[in-house]
Chain A
Amino acid sequence: MALITCRDAAFAYDGKVVIEGLNFEVSQGDYLCIVGENGSGKTTLMKGLLGLMRPKSGAIEMGDGLKAIQIGYLPQQTSAQKDFPASVYEVVLSGRLNSRGIRPFYTREDRQVALENMDKLGIAPLRKKSFRELSGGQQQRVLLARALCATEKVLLLDEPVSGLDPIVTAELYQTIAALHREAGLTVIMISHDVRSGVEYASHMLHLQNRQIFFGSAAAYQESDAGRYFLRGGGPQWN
């Protein structure tokens, strides 16, 4: 059974439909890249996947005992975080917040998991540093480690490379690919970067206030939508 199944789902704000006609599946071990222009409904779909918004019609079903709160989420950074006084360790550990119900303090196991995930992403030496002193790429690794603390199955990444320089971007993509390949995580990534999407992802989902394409990355490159988007620019594709 698929981990996540979207059945003719539509989402609306204040009764106004933002995105509709969503029909896709994410299976264990997939790497799905969701692309589309600004305002195409990517963020709305993401809220739906995280269980923060209910579909207006249709349904999003979770299989294999997956719950929406067990999705490891890498949100876009807010301006308030840039100068937030918190150590790397504190940030990563906060990913364990809801792993074992409500308790006043973190357990030894929580700390162990946080340390393992920092190791996995090569940020263990930075653990006592302040988050605000890190470079953009290091900050994303920290937030990725935090997301890993919250999940065993699915990572949901919201524009993970925005604001990073090309070299760091490539490194981060490789890290994500390695987590997908070696740790067997299912990855769902929202991105502007269609070319990297096609390069790393197994599946593509293209949105334009409705679902324009869903299928394998190889098929996407052959599709009209894919060809247009990969070429970039020109008049609005319809």
Chain B
Amino acid sequence: MELILEMLNFVFMRRAIMVGLLVSLCAALLGVSLVLKRYAMIGTGLSHVGFAAIVITGVVVDMIPPAWIMGFPPLARMIEFSPIILPMLVVVGAAFLLLRLSESSKIKGDSAVALISTSGLAIGVIVMGLTTGITLHICNVLFGSIFAMSAADMYLSIVLSIAVIALFVLFYKQIFAVTYDESFAKATGTKVELYKSMLSLLTAVTVVLGMRMMGALLIASLTLFPALSAMRLCKRFLFVVITAAIVAVVCFFAGMVISFAYNLPPGASVVGVNLVVFLLSSGVALIRRGGRA
């Protein structure tokens, strides 16, 4: 308890926890649908594109003479306000590209994701290689950093997270129908493509929001683990969604406390806790099934 209070004394910790809790919640809600639609890899794909986008914007912004940026007040204000807005736009674009690619059926879904994610990584690394001397810590981008959150980032995260959660609740029955059975949903007049686009868009936003704290390589796990753990424990879709949300929030908080107590990277700690919960819930499912059989 003392540890937690001590942790909350730091401004950067309060920010990180606030943003992290909201992002975990969003990621868990979206993750249930992504996992069940066999679309779980999209998080990985998008985070790698995000990596490239963050590196490139970092480099480009550094290369442009400050006087030139100041000549375009809107751009200057945007970069000043929050450096994640530009990457977010890029990742949203990538999300739509992924959706189109997997629909065109020339490149199947999993190959399309692999294609985009490795390309993203490669481009990011090339840009880094071309511009040695840029003060961008690759380790922080890949594995996350607790100091990444500015106040502006926090406000942006709060607003977008609330938007994600609100859309999810409002369109819950459509999301269920599209996740459960696309062909039936389509036949009864649901705009399946619209809701799929919405899911991709929301996933892109969530991934970028959480990426700098959790790291480009680890953010995708926030969409996977809570959903998978909840699916081990629950039989109803609504309960799966609720359990996933609870698991995500609890695991995030526990991960942060552990990270603070033992001075470990936050992203990896959160994923570690998630892994333990997943193994425990798998164990519970196994025992239950064994008991019944």
A residues with a Cβ closer than 8 A to B are 50-52, 68-69, 71, 73, 75, 78, 80-81, 84-87, 90-91, 94-95, 97-98, 104-106, 129-130, 132-133, 143, 146-147, 150, 156
Contact = CB atoms under 8 A, between A and B. Distances in A.
Contacts of A150: 188
Contact of B180 (A52, A81, A105): A81
Contacts of B38: 80
A146 B185 CA distance: 11
B112 to A, nearest CB: 18
Contact of A75 (B36, B184, B236): B184
Contacts, number: 85
Q: What are the 7 A-B residue pairs with the smallest beta carbon separation, nearest first?
A: A69-B189, A130-B235, A73-B187, A75-B183, A86-B237, A87-B236, A50-B187
Contacts of A85: 36, 231, 234-237, 239-240
Contacts of A143: 184
A71 B37 contact: no
B190 interface: yes
B170 A133 contact: no
B172 A90 contact: no
B100 interface: no
B233 to A, nearest CB: 9
Interface residues of B, number: 29
Interface string B201-244: 00000000000000000000000000000010011111110000
A71 B181 contact: no
Interface string B159-179: 000000000011111101100
Contact of B187 (A75, A105, A130): A75
Contact of B190 (A75, A91, A98): A98
A73 B177 CA distance: 13
Q: A interface, by DSSP: helix, strand, loop or mixed? A: mixed
A97 B180 contact: no
Given A85-B231, A94-B177, A95-B188, A104 B172 contact: yes
Given A73-B184, A75-B181, A94 B173 contact: yes
Contacts of A105: 172-173
B186 interface: yes
Contact of B181 (A50, A81, A132): A81
Task: Pick from B186, B234, B239 the residue with the most CB of A within 10 Å.
Answer: B186
A87 B176 CA distance: 12
Contacts of B186: 50, 52
B177 to A, nearest CB: 5
Contact of B237 (A68, A90, A129, A146): A90
B188 A97 contact: yes
A97 B36 contact: no
B37 A104 contact: no
Given A50-B187, A69-B188, A97-B190, A104 B170 contact: yes
Contacts of A94: 173, 176-177, 180-181, 184-185
Task: Pick from B169, B174, B183, B234 the residue with the most CB of A within 10 Å.
Answer: B183
Given A50-B186, A52-B186, 18 more contacts: A69-B189, A84-B36, A84-B237, A85-B231, A85-B235, A86-B237, A90-B176, A90-B238, A94-B177, A97-B173, A97-B177, A97-B190, A98-B188, A104-B169, A104-B173, A130-B235, A130-B236, A146-B184
21 contacts: A50-B187, A51-B187, A68-B187, A68-B189, A73-B183, A75-B187, A80-B38, A81-B181, A85-B231, A85-B236, A86-B180, A86-B237, A94-B176, A97-B174, A98-B190, A104-B169, A104-B170, A104-B171, A130-B235, A143-B184, A147-B184
A97 B172 CA distance: 11
